[in-house]
């Protein structure tokens, strides 16, 4: 694969510089690297996430109105360091606390937890919510439990919007936890990606092979098999998701006494045009 790169070691830094020049609604900070909403956050809970680069627009591209207030990019497929989240947290702290949305990878979990401890030492309230929606594997060499995948984007959008609506930190953390519980996903791959530093495939798949349940960094899946049709692949992935636990027809309401979300069964709902 051909790529236009000056220096593989500078890919993340150059990407951040370009991103900052292209968007005046965000501020890009260096040493440590993080992206935050221009003008800061006042009077509401700040929402922060981050992870290894190479998944753009996740997470830096989601810093903006109604989504993230700050994002911390690590090197390609490498967890950000605690000082990144610590400095980002101080930059966007609006006095109402911070929600950190963390994908379930060991480095991410440990480093975000260290950052939360540092911020709490500064008197800032922090809640860390782990996203672990991957139904392919319960455990692997790379995680303790399920991996964090696509539900991360949904959580960032839902929680970013809820913060703008004035949710306090406890309510926002409970909402994020609920999004994660109801989020399920599973991946597959036809080919391997090539990281800039290596320039070679991170794993090998034959021309007629696909891998089911693979992770977003090329972590092993559950099975390799001959390539199937789109309908067959969709059926395999959807079946695994549905077998993980049937979805129920429920609405969610905030219970102020329990300080948590509760499910309310949907009955006799009539949908009207325009709603």
From the list 23, 59, 182, 217, the catalytic residue is 217
Widest CA span in the chain: 61
Distance CA 72, CA 107 (A): 13
- Note if 29 is an active site residue: no
Give the whole-angstrom CA distance, residue 30 versus residue 182: 36
First to last CA, the chain: 48
Cα Rg of the chain (Å, integer) = 20
Residue 217 known to be catalytic: yes
| Catalytic residue, candidates 23, 55, 59, 182 | 55
* Residues known to be catalytic: 55, 217
């Amino acid at each position: 694969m051909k790529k236009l790169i000056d220096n593989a070691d500078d890919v993340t830094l150059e990407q951040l510089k370009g991103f900052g020049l292209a968007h005046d609604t965000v501020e890009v900070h260096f040493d440590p690297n993080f992206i935050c909403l221009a003008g800061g956050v006042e009077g509401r809970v700040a929402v922060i996430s981050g992870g290894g680069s190479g998944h753009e627009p996740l997470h830096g591209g989601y810093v903006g109105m109604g989504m993230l207030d700050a994002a911390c990019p690590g090197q390609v497929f490498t967890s950000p360091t605690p000082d990144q989240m610590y400095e980002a947290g101080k930059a966007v702290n609006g006095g109402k606390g911070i929600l950190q949305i963390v994908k379930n990878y060991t480095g991410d979990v440990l480093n975000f937890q260290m950052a939360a401890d540092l911020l709490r030492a500064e008197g800032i309230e922090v809640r860390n919510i782990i996203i672990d929606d991957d139904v392919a594997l319960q455990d692997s060499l790379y995680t303790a439990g399920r991996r964090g995948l696509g539900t991360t984007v949904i959580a960032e959008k839902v929680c970013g919007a809820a913060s703008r609506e004035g949710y306090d930190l406890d309510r926002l953390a409970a909402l994020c936890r609920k999004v994660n519980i109801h989020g399920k996903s599973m991946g597959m791959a036809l080919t391997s990606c090539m990281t800039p530093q290596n320039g070679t495939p991170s794993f090998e798949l034959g021309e007629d092979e696909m891998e089911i349940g693979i992770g977003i960094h090329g972590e092993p899946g559950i099975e390799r098999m001959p390539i199937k049709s789109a309908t067959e692949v969709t059926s395999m992935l959807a079946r695994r998701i549905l077998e993980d636990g049937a979805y129920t027809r429920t609405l969610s309401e905030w219970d102020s006494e329990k300080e948590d979300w509760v499910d309310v069964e949907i009955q006799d709902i009539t949908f009207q045009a325009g709603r």
